[in-house]
Amino acid sequence: MIESMRAAFALPDLRKRILFTIWILVIYRLVANIPVPGVDLEAWLTYVNAADSATGLIAVLNLLSGGAVSTFSVMAMGVYPYITASIIINLLTPIIPQLEELAAEGESGRNKINRITYYLTIPLAILQAVGQIRLIGFNVPGGLETILPNFGLGSGDLLPTLTTVAAMTAGTMFAIWLGEQITEDGIGQGISLIIFGGIVSRIPANLLGLVNLPDPTARVFSFISFIVLTVLTVLVIVVVQEGQRRIPVQYGRRVRGRKVYQGQSTYIPLKVNTAGMIPIIFAQSILTFPALIAQFFIDNSGSFIDQSAQWVSVQLGSQSTFLYWFFYFILVVGFTFFYTDVMVQQQKLWDTLQKQGGFIPGIRPGRKTQDYIMSVVRRITLVGAIFLGVIAILPGILQFV
């Protein structure tokens, strides 16, 4: 591993990209510590550090934002409004002909779809910002005025309210922009790295919590269990991620000028988990969204709508409920199938084979090849989807066992 790192830094272009990625992640973490305007940070930190705030939707949002919620940061929403917008656009693409045409145009079409996704992110970010603030007001003793004394629709509160919502929306858009910079000039997919960086930043605090356990036996056992589970999880993820089903492909003889090229045999490598970790990110974004929207309908009146909204907020907004983990598993499995289908359809492997004179032995070119490839993809995706779902709900399994 050390030799690989040395080799990477020996290449000027790769070294530049790695350092650029690290620099962008550092900027993200610095901005994630800037609180929104008008917040009483001392009162908020007192609530966050209290024992009764350790679970619930606020804890979930804090995890997803990489700890930005705990400081009521301008980055408190992370990039999740963008993820939600991406899901909506992906779902609408097969339905709306104009979007389907853009998706078929190649790079230029994808750029236009990305621009539409950015535009959709802004209203979603505003909606989520208001929902997140209302959630805080619903949970904090003394109400929202304890944390944001000037938040409301009164004549004297309108400007501070707009400033707070605008700051949180701008923080999300800035995080998305940072992710795009990593994608263009850094290493890997920027949005995923932004999310990864936020989650990894919580590891030192979690380890410190294990070290500070009062019982020495529990401290040692918890620390060893954490290390063992982490190593085993990483090993299993690597094994499954590298697993693939190879579909044999045969190419016939080709004549070019005076040269005759003999037929070749190769294969199409179809991964067990083509979608990677994207379904987990999608599922997290979708699962928290109903709980945030429910905050708009909670008024403590005891009406059916109020009780329903409170039920949604409690059941889908807390990692301590069975329904949260159940729906999380279902969403991860569903999004794995959905995202894999989208990726394979976009690759159009069957068209590429036909154009290059290749075929799958025993399968007719064209539609039959397409159906065969999709059937194989869906069979192996079932294994990958269940595996990814189990990995996603592993903390919940440990919690209930």
The model's pLDDT over 171-202, given as tens digits with 9 standing for 90+, comes to 999 999 998 999 888 888 888 788 777 777 76
Rounded to whole angstroms, the Cα distance separating 98 from 112 reads 11
Q: Which long-range contacts (CB under 8 A, 24 or more apart) does 361-369 make?
A: 361/248, 361/250
In the predicted model, is pLDDT for residue 329 greater than 70?
yes
Give yes or no: residues 355 and 273 share one domain.
yes
Q: What is the pLDDT of residue 76?
A: 87
Query: 130-133 contacts: CB < 8 A, separation 24 or more?
Result: 130/165, 130/296, 131/292, 131/293, 131/295, 131/296, 132/61, 132/69, 132/76, 132/77, 132/168, 132/292, 132/295, 133/164, 133/165
**pLDDT score for 221:** 79
Residue 301 lies in a domain: yes
| Residue pointed to by tokens 């909506």 | 88
Same domain, yes or no, for 146 and 67? Answer: yes
Give me the mean pLDDT over the 376-382 stretch: 88
Q: Nearest 5 degrees, angle CA 286-CA 279-CA 90?
A: 70
Picking from 201, 234, 256, the residue at the C-terminal end of a domain is: 201
* In a domain? residue 355: yes
Residue 223 lies in a domain: no
Locate tokens 């959709």: which residue? 120
Smallest Cα–Cα separation from 249: which of 358, 366, 330?
358
- Give yes or no: residues 148 and 268 share one domain: no
The total of structural domains in the chain comes to 2
Q: Are 133 and 151 in contact (CB under 8 A)?
A: yes
Say yes or no: 5 and 149 in one domain: yes
* Assigned domain for 160 exists: yes
**Residue 260: which pLDDT band, with cuts at 50, 70 and 90?**
low
121: pLDDT strictly greater than 90: yes
Do 16 and 146 lie in a common domain?
yes
Handedness of CA 200, 206, 207, 208 (dihedral sign): positive
Q: Are residues 289 and 357 in the same domain?
A: yes
Q: Partners of 359 in the beta sheet?
A: 250
- Do the domain assignments include residue 147? yes
- What is the model's pLDDT at position 66? 67
Return the top range by mean pLDDT from 2-16, 120-134, 384-398. Answer: 120-134
Q: Is 220 contained in some domain?
A: no
Same domain, yes or no, for 150 and 23?
yes
Same domain, 166 and 97: yes
Task: Evaluate if residue 395 carries a pLDDT over 60.
Answer: yes
Q: Which pLDDT band holds residue 52 (cuts at 50, 70, 90)?
A: very low
Q: Do 181 and 252 fall into the same domain?
A: no
Residues 366-392, mean pLDDT to the nearest whole number: 86
Q: What is the C-alpha separation between 107 and 129, in angstroms, rounded?
A: 32
Domain shared by 19 and 119, yes or no? yes
Lowest pLDDT segment from 37-41, 107-111, 318-322: 318-322
Comparing 254-268, 311-325, 331-345, which segment has the lowest mean pLDDT? 254-268
Q: What contacts 126, CB < 8 A, 6 or more positions away?
A: 165, 169
Q: Where do the H-state alpha helices sit in 212-273?
A: 216-242
Distance set, CA 320 to CA 73, 122, 136 (Å) = 25, 31, 18
Q: Determine the Cα–Cα distance for residues 144 and 153; give it in Å rounded to an integer.
A: 13
d(CA 17, CA 185): 6
Domain end (from 173, 201, 229): 201
Q: Identify whether residues 158 and 277 lie together within a single domain.
A: no
Give me the mean pLDDT over the 331-338 stretch: 90
Q: In the structure encoding, which two tokens stand for residue 221, read together?
A: 């056992």
Would you call 185 helix, strand, or coil by DSSP? helix
Q: What pLDDT, on the 0 to 100 scale, is given for residue 330?
A: 93
Using DSSP, state whether 189 is helix, strand or coil. Answer: coil
Buried b (16+ CB within 10 A) or exposed e, 277-312: bbbbbbbbbbbbbebbbbbebbeeeeeeeeeebbeb
324 vs 329: CA distance, rounded Å:
9
175 and 29 in a common domain: yes
Contact 359, 100 (CB under 8 A): no
- CA–CA gap between residue 272 and residue 377 (Å, rounded): 8
Radius of gyration of the chain (CA): 24
> What would the DSSP string read from start to end of 61-85?
HHHHTTTTGGGTBTTTTTTHHHHHH
Residue 87 has pLDDT above 50, yes or no: yes
Residue type, 395: P
Percent of the chain with pLDDT strictly greater than 70: 87
Going by pLDDT thresholds of 50, 70 and 90, the confidence category of residue 2 is low
Q: Is the pLDDT at 212 greater than 60, yes or no?
A: yes
* 218 in a structural domain: no
Helix (H) or strand (E) holding 355: helix 349-355
Query: Which tops the pLDDT comparison, 114 or 55?
Result: 114
Determine the Cα–Cα distance for residues 42 and 49; give it in Å rounded to an integer: 11
Average pLDDT over residues 59-83: 79
What is the predicted pLDDT for the residue at 173? Answer: 93
Separation of alpha carbons 66 and 56, rounded Å = 16
Question: pLDDT band at 119, cuts 50/70/90?
Answer: very high
Please report the pLDDT score of residue 1 as a whole number.
53
- The whole-number pLDDT of residue 400 equals 64
- Give the mean model confidence (pLDDT) for residues 98-112: 81
Distance CA 44, CA 33 (A): 14
Mean pLDDT estimate for the chain: 80
Its domain, for residue 312, covers 243-401
pLDDT at position 166 is 93
Token digits for 130? 């208001």
pLDDT band at residue 120, thresholds of 50, 70 and 90? Answer: very high
When pLDDT is averaged across residues 233-239 and rounded to a whole number, the result is 80
Domain with residue 369: its CATH number is 1.10.3370.10
134, 296 contact by CB (below 8 A):
yes
Residue 313 covered by a domain: yes
The tokens 């294969």 sit on which residue?
A: 267
